[in-house]
Chains A and B, each alone.
Chain A
Amino acid sequence: MVAHQGTTSSSGMTRRQLLLAGAVGAAVGAGLLAVPRRYFRTPQQSRTFVTKVDHYQLNIAESIKLGIRELGIAPEELRDKRILLKPNLVETASGAPHINTHPLVLRGAIEAFLGLGAAVVAVAEGPGHRRDSLAVYEESGLAEVLTEDKIRFHDLNYMAGYQLLNAGRQSSLRTLTFPDVFKEMDWIVSVAKMKTHHIAGATLSMKNLFGVMPGIYYGWPKNVLHHAGVENSILDINATLKPHFAIVDGIVGMEGDGPILGDPKKAGVLVMGRNLPSVDATCCRIMGIDPYKISYLERADNWLGPISEGAIEQRGEAITSVRTNFSLIESIPAHRGLRLA
């Protein structure tokens, strides 16, 4: 006879029962660990605005002003504020203006913010691929517009920076270095492009903020962030910088092999909001992409902002009325399984 079989513990359970209970507990624990963290977070609410803009020659400033009003932003919030617009300028190529945020969307945003009482509006970018930021600024057509409008452009790639503790703590980066000009600004506005992306699935207002990280500290193509993990870095930058507003240029976006080699895709919309994960989730739905399949959005849900359709109050156009599926490429791993049912 084996002496220890059936022995009763001080709790009154047999050893077999204890082992079984432990195993069940471990299984439940492991199961809980497998449940996405978002299910344990307090649900959040936000609001986004979608407006149809058929082409770039329409009155974009009025569309943005309307969006700001619909989103409940009071004039006092913008009066005398210093606004920094961060477009998506990556690189340029003949016949491919859809790589970058269209300059007339920037002009519209400038007119809107100044019209609503902002004291200063500036535009700033640190392109990820090119060391010659001014060349991208010129060749994208933005220099023409900003020169006419007498708006200052800041090249963030060569700007000295200041460090902040990494509030996102998703990557191993202890601190993040942001350009000095941000200390002089009240609002950071991500003016992004609606594009598919071969690593992140989609690049919208959150991913656009890679461009704020100066090249002199992060290299070209912002390689420190790639080594730290693209999704981790997107979350870290957004959690630490806490941008104030987003405008996504989906008038003509990019489908297929984005963010630089894809084809133009007319979605005919501008999407706006205070909360960047919500704006990006709305963009995804317009693109026919399930936002829960975009890793960084799923992880941001109910932390940096809600991405559930039910948690986002939709102003302006209904998503169903503007949805147009952006083509995805099956051979690109980041595109597989993204399609919204």
Chain B
Amino acid sequence: MLSSALRRIAKEELSHRVLSDGGVADRPQGKFRIDATAWAIITLSALNESPALIDRCRARLRSEQGDDGRIWVSRDNPDTFWPTALTVLAWQDSSACMDAQKRAVKFLLDTTGVHYSSRFSEVAGHDPGLKGWPWVANTHSWVEPTVLGVMALTAAGYGRHERVQEALRMIEDRQLPHGGWNYGNTFVFGRELRPMPESTGTALTGLAGHVDAGMVARSLDYLQGEINSMRTPVSLGWGLLGLAAWGQSPTNGLMLVERCLANQSRYGEYDTSSFCLLVLGGLAAEPERGRQLWFVPDAHQSGPVVQ
């Protein structure tokens, strides 16, 4: 597959999922969803397409923001604030969304998961005192929402903030000894748990530009060993993004994306968030790397982050 074909497919598919009120549906003929809208904005931005549409989608996200800056999955579930970090990324570089983004950033900086004394680390298999971000209020912090928090705050210029620095230590602490990450547990009753490709790709994406390559070498090896067997959009999308962030894109990345798109005959049409992740993974794997994905810093090229 040529990258131009992927761009065309992405643009066409997303245009079918845009709703008249400025949001994006969770799937074809589906309903508005905040995470789907945020991922669509990020994807269209990466494609350098449809600026007017992006503005409408960003405005829709502004209308969904809570008084304290959070963005939730739905209004009747205000504890589900994990889309806040994603929305900070979707509002990046938008002057119209600057205030909204600042309020979302403040919410992230003021919010953490439930944490425990470090002396419980033998039971938990990780240091439960290191703060990150949870999926849902009043629960423990886990790898993926923490990585999204790091990516959002870094993009917004808070990469050296103490919350980001502690979150980076938390992500490092959750890395499995044999490489890779899962949702965030390393050992249970003394036995090492298994890594998961989507969690590993997410963590590698968020850590790029922040930590040395030596710290993630085993995880990169794990992901390289898995990438050719990935057939589903969430794993493959994050897998390609994670490898690209460390300059290790596979040469057959676009072929893998093409195969995954074809698998919709087996799985049904992908939901919007998964579809966008797959497209972003494909763009990251472009041989020419014509346009650096702005939210995936190249570990070897990233400059200093601003506090």
Contact = CB atoms under 8 A, between A and B. Distances in A.
A223 B137 CA distance: 10
B54 to A, nearest CB: 23
Given A91-B194, A223-B140, A257-B191, A216 B80 contact: yes
Given A131-B144, A220-B144, A221-B183, A158 B135 contact: no
B134 interface: yes
B74 A132 contact: no
A129 B143 CA distance: 12
Contacts of B286: none
B245 interface: no
Contacts of B142: 219-221, 223
B191 A153 contact: no
A331 B191 CA distance: 12
A143 B114 CA distance: 37
B80 A147 contact: no
Interface in B269-291: 271, 273-274
A130 B234 CA distance: 10
Given A143-B266, A227-B139, A135 B197 contact: yes
B198 A130 contact: yes
Interface size class of A (residues with CB under 8 A): 35 or more
Contact of B196 (A129, A257, A261): A129
Contacts of B233: 134
A138 interface: yes
A216 B35 contact: yes
A177 interface: yes
A161 B194 CA distance: 30
A72 B76 CA distance: 41
A129 B144 CA distance: 12
Contact of B139 (A160, A177, A215, A224): A224
B33 A160 contact: yes
Given A129-B182, A132-B234, A147 B266 contact: yes
Interface in A166-224: 177, 198, 215-221, 223-224
B73 A217 contact: yes
B271 A132 contact: no
Interface string A217-249: 111110110110000000000000000000000
A34 B48 CA distance: 67
Nearest to B135: A219
A220 B274 CA distance: 17
B273 A158 contact: yes
A130 B268 CA distance: 19
B77 A177 contact: yes
B196 A91 contact: yes
A7 B2 CA distance: 101
B231 interface: yes
B228 interface: no
B252 interface: no
A137 interface: yes
Given A137-B267, A217-B73, A217-B80, A132 B232 contact: yes
A296 B135 CA distance: 26
A333 to B, nearest CB: 9
A218 B73 CA distance: 11
B241 to A, nearest CB: 14
A152 interface: yes
The 5 A-B pairs of least Cβ separation, nearest first, read A219-B135, A132-B234, A134-B232, A223-B139, A135-B232
28 contacts: A129-B182, A130-B196, A131-B144, A131-B199, A131-B234, A132-B197, A132-B235, A134-B234, A134-B267, A134-B274, A135-B197, A135-B231, A138-B231, A143-B266, A153-B268, A160-B31, A160-B33, A198-B188, A217-B77, A219-B142, A219-B145, A220-B135, A220-B142, A220-B144, A221-B185, A257-B188, A261-B191, A329-B189
Given A137-B267, A158-B273, 11 more contacts: A93-B194, A130-B183, A134-B232, A158-B271, A160-B33, A216-B73, A219-B139, A219-B145, A220-B142, A224-B79, A224-B138
